[in-house]
Structure 1
Amino acid sequence: MFELFFFGYTVHMLWTYIDIVLERYGYFVHTYFLTPVLPMALNMTASALPVGFLFIYQYCTNNKKNFYLCTLLLSAVFAFGFSSLEAHFGLLEFNKGMNQIHVFFIDVVIVFISFWFTKSILGKVNHAK
């Protein structure tokens, strides 16, 4: 349970910080917010992305599937599907040359780093026992 939620939390935190930086420098603009008091990055990065990758992590771990391939597929769905829909409906704007391909690569890098970090922490915890 700890492993699963630690992975999801790591994806959430990394994506949130990256999203805040991208928004601050104008690459990514979210046009609607839940409330003006909360940070700009409280959107897909706080809900759908971590949960989606958490499910992929759990599925691949339980069924001995290739996590890297599943991550690439889900990243493509999020980057080319959901971010395109968000841009089409005016919920998201890409500026300064930012596009869905950049979102895809950011997704992949964040999830791989979260995966390796989780596995390294898990290895250290199991080694300490």
Structure 2
Amino acid sequence: MDAEQKKELEHIIQSYRDTNLDTINYWWEYSSFDSWRFWLTFILLAVPLLVLYFKIDRNRVYQIGFYGFAIHMLGVYVDTIGTNYGFWSYPYKMIPVLPTSFTLTSSMIPVAFMLMYQWQSRKRINYYLCAAGVSAIFVFIIHPIFMWLDMFQMYRGFNYLIMYVNYFGGSIMAKLVLDAFVYLNKKNDTIRIRKIK
């Protein structure tokens, strides 16, 4: 690494540090423990996880959990990209060092999709119709409520239609990932059975 490249990299790292310090200072000023929005985000984080604890099918906990983890990770990636590029922001967050909404990406969204997946697979209802419905609830009901509460803001032409594509596209990708791992697991079980015989 030459001196100019090293200097440019150090400038970028310092910019990250400055931005993180500004974000933490903003959080302490407007979004910390003395704000009702902090406690609302805490409740919106805790309640879905409690519901999941009591409602998840214990016989399929690994499969449903893996699906939820896939939804969570895809949500974190999309949310991080969107906030880093300034398409949306969360003025009030529970954890200031994360660019994403910890409440949405770690609890509300994964839990809603996990319970939907559990329900639709048990009832044998089309997954994509159910995923489209859950996506619509988040995009056209929950996010507008968050905007009304000033807990979510959109910028630079980002809109609900693009958001819907993100949600529904993420649910399709999570299902494909899950299906691939279920297929590999079944294939592995078949090979193991043949070896035992």
Normalised TM-score (structure 2): 0.63
Q: Higher relative CO (CA 8 A, sep ≥ 6), structure 1 or 2? A: 1
Partners of 1:35 and 1:25 in 2: how far apart?
19
- For the pair 1:22 / 2:82, whether they are aligned, the reply is yes
Q: Any idea what the Cα deviations from partners look like across 1:17-74, whole Å, max 9, x if unmatched?
A: 110110011001100111324x121131111110000011101111111111011111
Hey, which of these two has a bigger chunk of helix by percent?
A: 2
Identity %: 23
Q: Which runs of 4+ in 1 moved over 4 A?
A: none
Q: Which runs of 5+ in 2 are unaligned?
A: 1-60, 190-197
Partners of 2:69 and 2:140 in 1: how far apart?
23
Instruction: Tell me the residue number matched to 1:70.
Output: 130
Aligned amino acid, residue 184 of structure 2: K
TM-fit CA distance, 1:78: 0.4
- For the pair 1:112 / 2:172, whether they are aligned, the reply is yes
Q: Any idea what the Cα deviations from partners look like across 1:77-115, whole Å, max 9, x if unmatched?
A: 100100111111110100001111111110000011000
Partners of 1:126 and 1:43 in 2: how far apart?
34
Indicate the RMSD between aligned Cα atoms, in angstroms.
Answer: 0.9
Instruction: Tell me the residue number matched to 1:81.
Output: 141
Instruction: Tell me the residue number matched to 1:40.
Output: 99
May I ask how many residue pairs the two structures share in their alignment? 128
* Larger gyration radius, structure 1 or structure 2: 2
